[in-house]
């Protein structure tokens, strides 16, 4: 057994852990990062990046299919093309190439900043000691392969960044044709019929992609509508588009399990009837839960918040010098939140005064159309007793939206009635993900409606809908 000591020991090299390590390295803190899987964590390997790559490939294929089919003859754009085909192996290889470039980049950044990467699974012995055993394969960048032997590392600060895992349904366990997002992102073949259990953002992003790649898709959701965590006005265009694409939606329905021959999914539909739907593959996307077991975390007896590790607004746990960030600490489980927390913890350890108090954290669904929520919705504001005004500007009145055939959707602003301080933005439509930057900056900088209404926005852009929503809330939108 080898022994090492360090100032900061990070368990988990996802966006939370690797960003903390890079910042700590920049600040001259002696840092060891332990990663049992791949650098980049869920986000780069089996989450944000690969899903967006697959969504893009599916969209391109779908466009080509549309122009080749009846859509070609009727296409207002006058484009017609021959029937396309797709080699899914090459698509997956292209996606893997992006993942490799990004994870390799993370390894290089860690090396450049003097972070020691230890490859292997960490086991917590106490709040200052961790044991790492057995690494799988070679590391990236400055990796130290623990290669079967055990390394014991003592630290002054322990940062937990072990992320989350897909929730498994006991009556529909993963294996065979029942897959999680991880397997769905690397298909060897396309299924004839994919049943997606769960109409949250992960299920819908992947379900839409598979549909556009040519699979028949059925979505089963226990709630009465898709994207149940989002407000109805935002979810409605997404549901309409799913139906237009030919996705079968079974709402208020619960899955009971697989049939005996494994070829169909049994479920109870909205009317209470038990029915079976044939399925070549079943994607279970019913949520993620913090990864808190299997590595000795329990032995620390930390205060918990349900299944998540409880933290304060500096990401301190209930034990001195034990910190936690990212999905391990619960909702919102988003990569950019994990990164922001990681950067902050490194700075606090370096002696800077920091607190995690963002004015807002954007959430984006890369569905079709995309959905963005930043800050408070009108309903949230009402619940908090804030007297607010809100106004929407439809994409149908935006020139740029017309030129990209994306007139479905709107941008909505929520602001305090008394001083016009903007407290929230919501949008649904083409490319609204890219508007999230403008939304979150306006809230973080404390903008009022007049600031956004009075800013010259480039023409013709979708961003003009942002300015017009602010003007509309002030009662004088120009283009509607
Ligand atoms: P993770 O990224 O999960 O990383 C944790 C790391 O810790 C892993 O690499 C794991 O191997 C390692 N680890 C765990 N235990 C140990 C141990 N004992 N020893 C050593 N290593 C260990 N978020 C967004 O913001 N935008 C999106 O578009 C988006 N899309 C997503 C799509 C999908 C399909 C999925 C599944 C998730 C998506 N997410 C998205 C969520 C995002 O991936 C997570 O919020 C983010 O990765 C959390 O970062 P993290 O650092 O907390 O944990």
Q: What confidence tens digit (pLDDT) does each residue in 233-255 have?
A: 999 999 999 999 999 999 999 99
- Is pLDDT of 434 > 90? yes
Same domain, 378 and 237: no
pLDDT confidence of residue 69: 81
**pLDDT digits over 41-59, tens only?**
999 999 999 999 999 999 9
Find the 161 Cα to ligand 1 centroid distance in Å: 9
Q: Which domain holds residue 228?
A: 178-286
- Residue 14 Cα to ligand 1 middle (Å): 5
Catalytic residue among 62, 250, 459, 476: 459
Q: At which of 286, 306, 328 does a domain end?
A: 286
Q: Do residues 298 and 390 both lie within one domain?
A: no
Q: Is residue 170 part of a domain?
A: no
Asked whether residue 32 is assigned to any structural domain, the reply reads yes
Same-domain pairing of 404 and 464:
yes
List ligand 1's pocket residues with C-beta within 6 A.
11-17, 34-37, 41-43, 47-48, 51, 121-122, 161-164, 181, 202, 291, 295, 326-328, 333-336, 338, 366
Do 141 and 124 belong to one domain? yes
pLDDT at 218 exceeding the cut of 60: yes
Q: Is 367 found in the same domain as 314? A: no
Calculate mean pLDDT across residues 97-118.
98
- Best residue among 41, 136, 343 to mutate for probing ligand 1's pocket (most ligand atoms within 8 Å of CB) is 41
* pLDDT over threshold 80, residue 339: yes
Q: What is the pTM of this model?
A: 0.96
Residue 142's pLDDT band (boundaries 50, 70, 90)?
very low
Which residue owns the Cα nearest ligand 1 atom 8?
41
pLDDT reported for residue 84: 95
Number of compact structural domains in the chain: 3
Each residue's pLDDT tens digit, 401-416: 999 999 999 999 999 9
Q: Using H for helix, E for strand and C for coil, what is the string for the chain? A: CEEEEEEEEEECCCHHHHHHHHHHHHCCCCEEEEECCCCCHHHHHHCHHHHHHHHHHHHHHHHHHHHHCHHHHHCCCCCCCCCCCCCHHHHHHHHHHHHHHHHHHHHHHHHHCCCEEEECEEEEEECCEEEEECCCCCCCCCEEECCCCCEEEEEEEEEECCCEEECCECCECCECCEECHHHHCCCCCCCCEEEEECCCHHHHHHHHHHHHCCCEEEEECCCCCCCCCCCHHHHHHHHHHHHHCCCEEECCCEEEEECCCCCEEEEECCCCCEEEEECCEEEECCCEEECCCCCCHHHHCCCEECCEECCCCCCECCCCCEEECHHHHCCCCCHHHHHHHHHHHHHHHCCCCCCCCCCCCCEEECCCCEEEEEECCHHHHHHCCCCEEEEEEEHHHCHHHHHCCCCCEEEEEEEECCCCEEEEEEEEECCHHHHHHHHHHHHHCCCEHHHHHCCCCCCCCCCHHHHHHHHHHCCCCCCC
Residue 144 has pLDDT above 90, yes or no: no
Q: How many Å lie between the centroid of ligand 1 and the Cα of residue 182? A: 11
- Give the model confidence (pLDDT) of 62-98 as tens digits: 999 999 986 566 688 999 899 999 999 999 999 999 9
Question: Are 195 and 312 in a shared domain?
Answer: no
Residue 369 in any domain: the answer is: yes
Is residue 417 in some structural domain?
yes
Position 136 pLDDT exceeds 60: no
Q: pLDDT band at residue 147, thresholds of 50, 70 and 90? A: low
Q: Are residues 122 and 29 in the same domain?
A: yes
Ligand 1 atom index nearest CA of 42: 2
Residue 250 falls in the annotated catalytic set = no
Whether 142 and 35 share a structural domain: yes
- Average pLDDT along the chain: 95
Does residue 137 surpass a pLDDT of 50? no
pLDDT of residue 139: 39
| Predicted local confidence at residue 71, as pLDDT | 59
**Atom number of ligand 1 nearest to Cα 295:** 18
């Amino acid at each position: 057994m080898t022994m090492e000591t360090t100032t900061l020991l990070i368990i988990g090299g996802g966006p939370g852990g690797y960003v903390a390590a890079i910042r700590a390295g920049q600040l001259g803190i002696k840092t060891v990062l332990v990663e049992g899987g791949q650098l980049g964590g869920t986000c780069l390997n089996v989450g944000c990046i690969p899903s967006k790559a697959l969504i893009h490939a599916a969209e391109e294929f779908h466009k080509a299919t549309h122009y080749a089919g009846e859509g070609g003859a009727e296409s207002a754009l006058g484009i017609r093309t021959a029937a396309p085909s797709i080699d899914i192996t090459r698509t997956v290889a292209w996606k893997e190439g992006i993942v490799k470039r990004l994870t390799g980049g993370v390894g290089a950044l860690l090396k450049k900043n003097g972070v020691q990467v230890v490859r292997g699974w960490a086991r917590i012995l106490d709040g200052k000691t961790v044991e790492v055993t057995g690494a799988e394969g070679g590391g990236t960048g400055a990796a130290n392969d623990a290669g079967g032997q055990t390394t014991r590392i003592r630290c002054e600060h322990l940062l937990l960044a072990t992320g989350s895992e897909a929730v498994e349904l006991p009556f529909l366990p993963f294996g065979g044709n029942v897959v999680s997002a991880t397997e769905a992102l690397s298909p060897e073949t396309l299924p004839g019929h994919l049943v997606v259990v769960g109409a949250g953002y992960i299920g819908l992003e992947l379900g839409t992609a598979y549909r556009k790649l040519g699979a028949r898709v059925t979505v089963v959701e226990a709630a009465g509508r898709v994207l149940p965590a989002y407000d109805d006005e935002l979810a409605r265009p997404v549901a309409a588009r799913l139906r237009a694409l030919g996705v079968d939606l079974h709402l208020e329905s619960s899955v009971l399990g697989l049939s005996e021959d494994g070829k169909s999914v049994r479920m109870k539909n909205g009317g209470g009837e038990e029915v079976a739907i044939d399925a070549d593959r079943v994607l279970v996307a019913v949520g993620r839960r913090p990864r808190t077991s299997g590595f000795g975390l329990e032995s620390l007896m930390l205060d918990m918040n349900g299944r998540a590790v409880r933290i304060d607004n500096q990401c301190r746990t209930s034990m001195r010098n034990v910190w936690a960030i990212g999905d391990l600490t619960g909702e919102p489980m988003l990569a950019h939140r994990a990164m922001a927390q990681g950067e902050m913890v490194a700075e606090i350890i370096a002696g800077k005064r920091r607190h995690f108090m963002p004015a807002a954290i954007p959430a984006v669904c890369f569905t079709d159309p995309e959905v963005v929520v930043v800050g408070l919705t009108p309903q949230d504001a009402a619940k908090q007793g804030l007297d607010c005004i809100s106004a929407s500007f439809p994409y149908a009145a935006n020139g740029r939206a017309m030129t990209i055939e994306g007139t479905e959707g709107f941008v909505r602003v929520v602001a305090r009635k008394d001083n016009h301080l903007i407290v929230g933005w919501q949008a649904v439509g083409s490319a609204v993900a890219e508007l999230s930057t403008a939304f979150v900056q306006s809230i973080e900088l404390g903008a009022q409606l007049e600031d956004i209404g009075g800013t010259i926005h480039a023409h013709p852009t979708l961003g003009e809908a942002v300015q017009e929503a602010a003007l509309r809330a002030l009662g004088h939108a120009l283009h509607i």
